[in-house]
Structure formats: C-alpha cells, structure tokens
Chains A and B, each alone.
Chain A
Amino acid sequence: MITMNAQRNKIHPHKYSMWIAMASITMMFVGFTSAYVVKRSQANWLSFELPAIFWVSTGLILLSSLTIHLALRQFKARSMGSYKSLITLTALLGVAFAVCQVIGFSDMKNHGLALDSTVSASFIYVIVGVHILHVLGGVVVLLILFFRAYRIRVRTYSAVPIEVAATYWHFVDGLWIYLLVFFSLAR
C-alpha cells in the first residue's frame, strides 16, 4: 500500500523497535532486581538454595538459542523444511523451559518456600514468573512464524520477522542467565 523504498533505512525500523523494546523490558527487570537488592539489605531476609532444576532449564534455553540461530540460517539458505523443524524445536524447548521453571516452583513449595512464605521466595516466584511470560510470548511469535511458513499462497523472502524473533529469543535467554547469576550471587 505505502512504499517505503524512497526512504533510506540504515537498519530496519522493526529491528530498531525490538532493540528499544528490549531496553524497556530490561528496565522492568532492573526495577525488580533493585527492589530485591533493597529488600535484601533489610531485616528478615531468608536465603536459600535455588531449585536444582533451574540448571536444567538453563541448558534448555541455551540450546534453544542455538536452534533459533540455525533456523535463521536455514531460512536464509531457503531450505524451508529444516527451517520449519528448527523453529518447532525452538518453540518446544521454550515450552520445556517454562515447564521446568514451574517444576522448580513446586520444588520450592515442597521445601516450605511458598509464594507467601518469605519475601525472598516471593521475589523468585514473581521475577521468574514474569520472565516465563516473556518466554511464552516468544513461543507465540514462533507459532505465528510457523503457520506463516505453511501458507502456500504468500511466499515471504524477507528474513526480517525471523531476525527480529531470533533477537528477542536470544534476549530472553540472556535475561535468564542474568537472573540466574543474580539470584546465585545475591542470595
């Protein structure tokens, strides 16, 4: 409808928007983790070991970053079959990650660390929970890309949507690594 090619785009505006969105999401987690730091320095802080399954989920999300990276390469090479199976695998790994986190929650609950037990546990539930929502948001995006790839009539050759999705996926991956390191160091 509207042609944009008259304009000189150094970097695609959607990619740019994604970077700003990531800055914004980062600020939200900076807010959470600074609240955590402030609370930790006050009385009644109970410190405990993170559930072991969080390390499994870390492995899963790292692996998913690898698969989405390969998916992007396959898309650019136009081998659509392996592209489709790779984004499916990425989405499944994302779901598996979320499941592991929830198992971690029930581990904590079984050890007497329910959501309303102590403020240090509450923080883990809320922060990790909000992060899970961000991962699941990425899974929804992957599903949209997946169904797009099956539409015969509209063939897209632009890699921009997949690049934007991959950037976001690496971001939520990195965000989890940050949270894991943060929770391990600032207990």
Chain B
Amino acid sequence: MSNEATLHSQDLLHHGHVEHGHGNGHDGHDHHHEETFISKYVFSMDHKMIAKQFLITGIIWAIIGAFFSVLFRLQLGYPDATFPWLESILGHWAEGGRITAEAYYALVTMHGTILVFFVLTAGLSGTFSNLLIPLQVGARDMASPFMNMLSYWFFFLASVIMMSSLFVQTGPASGGWTSYPPLSALGDASIGSKIGMDLWLISMAIFVVSSLLGSLNYISTILNMRTKGMSMTKMPLTIWAFFFTAVLGVLSFPVLLSGFILLLFDRHGGTSFYLSELFVQGKVLPNEGGSAILYQHLFWFLGHPEVYIIILPAMGMVSEILAVNSRKPIFGYLAMVGSLFAITVLAFLVWAHHMFVTGLNPFLGAFFVLLTLLIAVPSAIKVFNWLTTIWRGNIRFTPASLFSIGFVSTFISGGLTGIWLGNSAIDIHLHDTYFVIAHFHIVMGVSAFFGMFAGIYHWFPKMYGRFMNQTLGFIHFWITLVGAYLIFWPMHYEGMAGMPRRYFDYSTWASFNQFGGLNQFISFVVIIVFATQLLFVFNFFYSIFKGRKLTSPNPWEATTLEWTTPIHPGHGNWPGEIPEVHRWAYDYSKDGKDFIPQTVPVSPEESGH
C-alpha cells in the first residue's frame, strides 16, 4: 500500500468535505449516522469533543480558582484597607469590605483544590490525553468511548457538587486542600468543617472515579490501539508522558479514595480511624485510638504522585513543541522515556517528605531524603535534553514555543528549591513557610500552566481549525512569565525569614512588618497577571469563532500523525485507512529535508537514526 496515495486521497476527501460544507463529522464512513446537538456536543463519545469539554470546564474553573487567589491576596497585601465591593459579592463573608478569617481560609482551600484537581489534573491531562492519544498513536477513538464520556460526566458532576459547596450557608471546606483531620473530621471544629467538608469529600470521591475511568482508557488505548508500525519506541514523547501520568493516577488515586472513605466514617459513623483524645469546644470526645498521621500517609501516597500527574503531561507536550519549533530531533529520546519512567517509580517512594516534621522517625526520614534527592537525577536529564534540543536549533518563536521555553525556566528555578526542601534537616526551618509556597507554585503551578498554555496554543488549530491570535499570545507570555517570577520569587525570602503560610494577618507580628511593602507589591502583580489571563481567555474564545483559518492540515510542519488528519476531522479521525507509521516522530532537518512525517517509508539511501 502506498502511503503517498493514501495521503493524496485523504486530501481529496478533505477538499470534498470543505466544498460541500457539511460538518456532520462522519465523512468517510460507510453508513450515514445522524448526529443531534445532544450527541455531538453534550453526550459526545468523540475523544476530540470530550477533550474540548474538559478544556472549557477547566478554563472556567481556572478563572474561579485564580480569582479566589486575587481575593485573598487583597487581604495579604492590604490587610488594613477595606473594599466595599467585596461585601457586595461575598456578603457577610466580607463584612465592611474586609474578608473575614473564615472566608480567607475557605478561599485558600478552594484555590488549592480547584487548581490542583479540577484545573491541572482534569483540565490538563483530561484535555490533552483525550485529544492527542488517539490522534498521535493512530486510533479511531479511545478503547472505550463510552467510558471516556462517563469520565467527563463524572468530572462534571464532581464540579457541580464542588461549585454548590461554595453557596452553602456555612461555606465551603476551609481546612486546606489537604483536608487533614481532626479539623476535617469534626463538624464542630470550624464552620468550614460542616456541610462544606462533606460536599468536598463527595465531590472528590466522584472526581477520583472520573480520573480512574479516564486513565484506564488512556493506558489501554496506548498499549492496544496503536496503528501499524507504531511501536512503543516510535511514539511521540507526549504519548509516553500521558501513559506514565495515567499509570500514576490508576495506582495512587484509589489509595486517596480509601483515605477519604475512612474520613467519611470518622465524620458520620462514629469511628476513630483518625481521632483520639480530643477536646472540641470544651467537650471531651469519646473517640480513642485513632491516628491523624495515618490520614497523612494515605493522603500523601496520592499527594506526591499527584504533582507528577500534573507535571508529566506538561513535560511531554513541551518536549514535542520544542522539537517541532527548533526543527531538530529531540535530544536523547530514550533518556527522556527512561527519566519519565524513573520519575514514575520514585513518585511512589517519597511521600513521607511531606511529613518530616510530624514526628516521623528520623532514620526513616533519611531514606525519604535520599529517594527524594534521587528525583533530581531524571529531572536534570530532562532539563539537559530540552536545552540541547533547542541548542543551535532553527527556533521558531511562537507563543507555544515561548511558553515551552518558559516551562523549562520555571522548572529549573522551582525544581532547585526542591533540593532544599527535600532535606529533612533544612525542612525543620522551612516547612510551612512561604518558601514552600514559592517552591511548589513555581515548579508545579506555573510550570504546569506554561505547559498547558503551550499545548493550547500549539494544538488549538487541531481542535478548532483556526489559529489563536499570535500578538495577544506574545503579550500573554511575557506578562505571565515576568509576573510569575515577580509574584513567587520574593516569597522565598519571606519563607527564609520564617514567615508562615496560611496566616490571615501578619501585621501583629513585628518580625514580619518588614514584608508589608513586599506583600503589597506581590498582590499588585497578582492583579495584573490575573487580568492578562483574561486576555488569554478572550483570545481563546474569540479565536474559536473568528480566528485565522487553517489553509493546510499541517500548519507547524510537524511529523506526528495528528497533522495527517483533515483540518476538521470527523469522528474516526481519518476519512480513509489509518496511516501506517514507518519512523519515529522526530525526523527534523534530516538528509537536507526540513521534516519527514512518520508516515513516509524509510528509503534505502537515508542515513540511520
């Protein structure tokens, strides 16, 4: 079978499709299948539509979560000022224009929950695993499109419950995104531990189900549904990253669920898994024999892999985008795969480094220090390979490639502070300070967001057949990059000076008065950066309808399979046969050719890989 002929006939089919102008999404299939609005846009089983559903839901959550951070930054930056407009949106939670302490804790908790789970897990992995896995491995759809649809609707249900918890009278959960007992286990402990906490737990349990359904599909699609010739070592690094992300999710989320189930029984069944010898509001509780530390073990057994669930998809997309935009093969492909694997294994062996100061046995701590520091090795390999990939490349500066380079920058500067925090001795001083906030926001929050932005700018043409506006993209990038460093860099100094996290008001501590101006500055930058993200949101939605249209199916001149589909692929992705793969995904600048798609057979005269 000649691939050229296949490609050519696809082009013909594609043009035919555009001329006739019917977008029923089933071109090339034998029997015509009527699609209604409901089956196409709502209960869709097409992985590309499900990806868009995850993305847009994620964007809505990101706006809410980021807006919460603006609100609590107002309190941190301007603790004495009053903002009457706050009272009009938050009501009695901001009496007299100043956020109450309860509201502050609720905002911080929901900011963490929303960003970690609903945006950077579901919004990032849900969007791009769904979009890219079938397209890049050469499959018509996921292994089980129905389960894939369920995955989104479980996420939607979790979202609705979490959203409704914002509107209950006693407010949403407010014990921190980690929901440590006893605060989270006792309704009398704080107002956020009442119905808001129940809704939080129910929502998160449903979220876990959604995540598992998605991950099951990602793994079996990658392992079982690859097209002819697509051996594991010919897969793009994006797919490897999504694969390891799904493995992490499948093995760690269930443990979190078991922790949540025990917590629910402590709340409502009268059990004492986590509770022992407590006084609440002057009363002695009957609970005996429980251990709050047990919850921390169960939580962080997910909690640590969770940060890799967030960062691995970003790593995969950045690898792909950097290679495409440097017109060079990725440097050290197998080392990239190997380091992803090493990170996945180590992710399960380091959870106790979140618990160095909980009374953990110091000898046990030493092992966790060693294993934690070992993660620096695969991370450094990856950074080295990204830098050598763009080194002396013919770099094309697009918003996607800039965000990818920005990712490498924030991953280095945020990752280095991980070496400090991973040491149990230094952690005694730095734990629960702004140093920790600075570390994980740069290495996990900002980096993962940069990976996500890079992915959105790069694959937007595949999703909607149009480009996003480049100029707005450049403005978005530069303000976000500079802003992110201006926000989080100073927090390192605050943390080293011992400023604790999660405090409502620092003005009563003379030792932290020196940071009053700095906190104001950070809050000011937060508002500018938040406004810039709205610019991105505008660009995104405007471009869906009014963006510049694609004229060729392969706008970035990339080698991977998703660009061999028509500009508006139907359900089934390829109108004809699924193309066969003959080479790896990174044949750029080879034998005098700018790029060679994966579908082109290897010719005898070609130099080796």
Contact = CB atoms under 8 A, between A and B. Distances in A.
Nearest to A23: B250
A11 B219 CA distance: 13
B271 A116 contact: yes
Contacts of B571: 1-2
Contacts of B252: 27
Interface in A18-49: 20-21, 23-25, 27-32, 34-35, 38-39, 42-45
Contacts of B297: 34-35, 38
A122 interface: yes
A16 B217 CA distance: 9
Interface in B216-272: 216-217, 219-221, 223-228, 250-259, 261-262, 265, 269-272
B308 to A, nearest CB: 16
B572 A2 contact: yes
Contact of A126 (B29, B139, B265, B291): B265
A1 B221 contact: no
Contacts of A12: 224
B144 A17 contact: yes
A34 B254 CA distance: 13
Contacts of A79: none
Interface string A135-168: 0000000000000000000000000000000000
Contact of A39 (B31, B257, B259, B273): B273
Contacts of B221: 13
Contact of B255 (A21, A27, A42): A27
A118 interface: yes
Contacts of A6: 577-578
Interface string B28-48: 010101000000000000000
A25 B139 contact: no
B216 A24 contact: yes
A39 B221 CA distance: 39
Contacts of B227: 7
Contacts of B216: 17, 20-21, 24
Given A1-B31, A28-B254, A38-B291, A122 B224 contact: no
A17 B220 contact: yes
Interface residues of A, number: 42
Nearest to A46: B289
Contacts of A122: 265, 269, 271-273
A79 to B, nearest CB: 29
A44 B291 CA distance: 11
B258 A31 contact: yes
B140 interface: yes
B27 interface: no
Contacts of A2: 29, 140-141, 571-572
Given A1-B33, A24-B251, A119-B289, A8 B228 contact: yes
Contacts of B290: 119
B254 A25 contact: yes
A16 B223 CA distance: 9
A28 B262 CA distance: 12
B275 to A, nearest CB: 10
A33 B579 CA distance: 47
B298 interface: yes
Given A14-B144, A31-B258, A9 B577 contact: no
Contacts of A23: 250-251
B4 interface: no
A2 B45 CA distance: 12
A78 B223 CA distance: 31
A116 B139 CA distance: 51
Given A2-B141, A2-B572, A31-B255, A13 B250 contact: no
Q: Which one of A1, A11, A45 has the highest number of Cβ atoms from chain B below 10 Å of its Cβ?
A: A1
A9 B271 contact: no
Given A7-B228, A42-B289, 7 more contacts: A2-B572, A7-B225, A27-B254, A34-B297, A119-B272, A119-B273, A126-B262
In the A-B complex, the 6 residue pairs with the smallest Cβ-Cβ separation, listed nearest first, are A116-B270, A13-B143, A28-B254, A44-B289, A31-B255, A31-B258
Interface of A: 1-4, 6-14, 16-17, 20-21, 23-25, 27-32, 34-35, 38-39, 42-45, 115-116, 118-119, 122-123, 126, 130
Interface of B: 29, 31, 33, 139-141, 143-144, 147, 212, 215-217, 219-221, 223-228, 250-259, 261-262, 265, 269-273, 288-291, 294, 297-298, 301, 571-572, 577-578
